A and B are shown apart, each in its own frame.
Chain A
Amino acid sequence: MSATSDSIAPRTASARGIDLRPYLFGAGIGVVSWAAFAIAHEPLGITTALSRAAAPVASLFFGSDVVSQNPYWSPMPFAWDYGVLFLFGVVGGALASSLAAGTFRFELVPRFWRERFGGSPLKRVLGAFFGGAAMMFGARMAGGCTSGHGISGTLQLALSSWVFLISIFASGLIASRLVFGTAWKGGRR
């Protein structure tokens, strides 16, 4: 099992062949967290802001009265504030980074999906849509995602966040085994 090799990006490995980049970029996210707490006064997170950005979308379909009276949205109505603008920064940062590194490429059916479910774009669109929908539902029930709980919450040693992290890994490991079986190698055969 090869854990680190990838043809997409050039490897900057240490002398012993260990790719240190995931650790270093991970530590970099930790440093960004310092600024999030000390300067922005809002920990890194995605789904709270994204669920607020869903409110104006819901207004289009169900009317603004339904949305403004909704008990989930009414304590935190939509605004172009820090959390929502942060989301646009995330897309921009990855765009600039992937263009600079030469890794930007359009992808509709990824390798892992193609090897298990075939190359049908419609199947992948349905899988991504309902996967995303269920993910957001679960994240809101838990109060955060892999960023808000998984990084920002665990680094504060919050009970809720450590329980969440253990729960998603237990569930994800079982789901991966059931969906892909044991022979599958993460789409990198």
Chain B
Amino acid sequence: MSLILPLAMGFAFGALVNRARVTDCNVIEGQFCLCDFTMIKVMLPAMLVGGLGVLALVQAGDAHYYIKDANMLGVILGGAIFGVALVFYGYCPGTGLAAIGAGSVHALVGVVGMIAGAILYAFSYGWIKAHILDVWALGKVRLPALTGVPDLVWFAAVGVLAAAAFAWIERRSVES
């Protein structure tokens, strides 16, 4: 069980991202030049379907949340570095790892780079913690608690916006 479960969960995730074609770095790059919207077509349904199910599980007492710290400076700055790196690498960490399985040798090189990046981060951690992570640190905050807007209203709003955006994207791609 302790060996099968993580391998099976990873296997399912790897197979799904491969079938969704986001293990092709040209597809990921296409998202950032707004030429190919596959990446958000995968992410938003994952978020909505996952979110509604996890909300039900949490309310039934069968799961609990794992909220990451809102260290706002670190999240914004880290996200900005991540976005630039994504354009040069062509994968995010999960799709890069999966792309190795699909035969991408340069994805493997990037994962070796990630190990190097992790070592660099670990050795810089003391300074980063004091000067970046502890700045504007709001803690483990969820949007419903922060805004007073209930969970289901958030999901409905994201769902409506996503549906409108996807309808527009699909109409454009059929016309062209």
Contact across chains for A135 and B34 when beta carbons are under 8 A apart: no
CA A84 – CA B15 in complex, angstroms?
Answer: 17
Contacts of B6 in A (CB 8 A): 40, 81-86, 89
**8 A Cβ contacts from A162-189 to B:** 162-177, 179-180, 184-188
Closest to B146 in A: A159
Contact across chains for B114 and A176 when beta carbons are under 8 A apart: no
Majority secondary structure of chain A interface residues (helix, strand, loop or mixed): helix
Contacts of A8 in B (CB 8 A): 21, 24
B113 CB to nearest A CB, Å: 3
Say yes or no: is B160 at the interface (Cβ < 8 Å to chain A). no
Contacts of A155 in B (CB 8 A): 46-48, 50-51, 54
B74 CB to nearest A CB, Å: 5
B11 CB to nearest A CB, Å: 4
Q: A1-B173, A44-B13, A93-B13 are in contact. Are A104 and B71 (CB under 8 A)?
A: no
Contacts of A157 in B (CB 8 A): 51, 142-144, 151, 154
Contact across chains for B9 and A35 when beta carbons are under 8 A apart: yes
The number of chain B residues with a CB under 8 A from chain A is: 130
Contacts of B63 in A (CB 8 A): 37-38, 41
A98 CB to nearest B CB, Å: 4
Q: A132-B113, A136-B118, A144-B68 are in contact. Are A4 and B38 (CB under 8 A)?
A: yes
CA A88 – CA B13 in complex, angstroms?
Answer: 11
27 residue pairs from A and B, CB less than 8 Å apart:
A3-B173, A46-B93, A46-B97, A57-B115, A85-B7, A94-B14, A94-B102, A112-B26, A125-B106, A129-B112, A131-B88, A132-B89, A132-B109, A134-B82, A135-B81, A135-B113, A136-B117, A138-B83, A138-B85, A140-B118, A141-B74, A148-B68, A158-B143, A171-B82, A174-B83, A185-B33, A187-B30
B residues sitting closer than 8 Å to A (CB atoms) are 2-3, 5-21, 23-27, 29-38, 41-51, 53-54, 57-58, 62-72, 74-90, 92-107, 109-123, 125-126, 128-129, 132-133, 138, 140-144, 146, 151, 154, 166, 169-170, 172-174, 176
A residues sitting closer than 8 Å to B (CB atoms) are 1-4, 6, 8-9, 16-18, 21-44, 46-47, 50-51, 53-55, 57-58, 61, 70-73, 81-98, 101, 103-113, 124-125, 127-177, 179-180, 184-188
